[in-house]
Structure 1
């Protein structure tokens, strides 16, 4: 993620340097000769041929792209992908929880257990804390993840205590990361709160 950010900064700097030279080069191309040189109008056309597609790309594509800041998901850049949510799809939603801070944040997860699937939660003694339990979550018999009693910042975590057939309009979201904050803790989510997205990078 840091390498991508630095590459974007370098690209912006390069464009900025080119734009600072553009007025002088455009003037030369249109007939104002530089010292010791002759007018070269083809330079202006080359410059426009380079800049205009980049501007169009930035105006159309960049607003549709979203950065994924969570290490629990194997994607850096995503975009909206309208359509019905299927198993394994990336989904984005707004999370409001003390662990996320005072303001709501956008979160990206996978749709892992869908309406009609059987979700089973089994509690076991925690390996992370004394006098605590972990929740193991299975979808149709396949392990989805294990909850932890304490977050990385020391905050106590309560896991979801529910098993059964997932009702219509609800989805279990999660990630393969052992410390991912997902439905293990905040429960099933209504599909109306989820936006289907796809990975770009």
Structure 2
């Protein structure tokens, strides 16, 4: 009888462990960079509307920045986590290298990448079009909409809630 109880307990521990592992793999995301100020996120793929200040996960497939091109060669697609700074209907203004949303200062684009390469920034003045968001990281070295422009909402994979 003890052997059968031990087998049941072992099976139960295995099932609980598998459920926990499944939860971690499908609901948690880890960001290795300091780009957004957090590293661990709870992921929700069930979102109806993306709002300003939401953190979102989305893929990038190409870039003109060599540092990131090297990563894309390895992985083909990189998933980024960024915070939504401007949503459809907001007015995005770029003055020189400074970005504003509805007149509120957001950030300044860099002139050079970390490796010294000259980089171009996104240029736009107008209303954020329907179906797109402008996203930013919190770090000065964040690779975000300052450099690649709007993110199509249809490409947003999940909304991320910061944990740590």
TM-score (norm: length of structure 1):
0.67
Residue 100 of structure 2: aligned partner: 138
**Using the alignment, how far apart are the partners of 2:122 and 2:41 within structure 1?**
30
2:76 pairs with 1:97: no
Unaligned segments of structure 1, at least 5 residues: 1-27, 31-40, 124-134
**Using the alignment, how far apart are the partners of 1:189 and 1:47 within structure 2?**
47
**Using the alignment, how far apart are the partners of 1:195 and 1:42 within structure 2?**
43
Residue 178 of structure 1: aligned partner: 140
**1:97·1:104 contact (CA, 8 Å) conserved in 2?**
no
How far residue 81 of structure 1 moved from its aligned partner, in angstroms, is: 3.3
4+ residue stretches of structure 1 with deviation over 6 A? none
**Using the alignment, how far apart are the partners of 1:121 and 1:197 within structure 2?**
26
Unaligned segments of structure 2, at least 5 residues: none
Q: 1:69 to 1:98 in 2, by over 3 A?
A: farther
**1:82·1:196 contact (CA, 8 Å) conserved in 2?**
yes
**Using the alignment, how far apart are the partners of 1:182 and 1:146 within structure 2?**
11
**2:92·2:102 contact (CA, 8 Å) conserved in 1?**
yes
Aligned pair partner of 2:116 in 136, 141, 154? 154
Residue 80 of structure 1: aligned partner: 44
Q: 1:120 to 1:200 in 2, by over 3 A?
A: closer
Q: How large is the Cα RMSD of the aligned pairs? A: 2.1
**2:57·2:160 contact (CA, 8 Å) conserved in 1?**
no
SS of 2:52 mapped into structure 1: coil
Residue 151 of structure 2: aligned partner: 189
TM-score (norm: length of structure 2):
0.80
Q: Which has the higher contact order (CA 8 A, sep 6+)?
A: 2
How many matched pairs?
152
Residue 68 of structure 1: aligned partner: 31
Q: 1:185 to 1:48 in 2, by over 3 A?
A: same
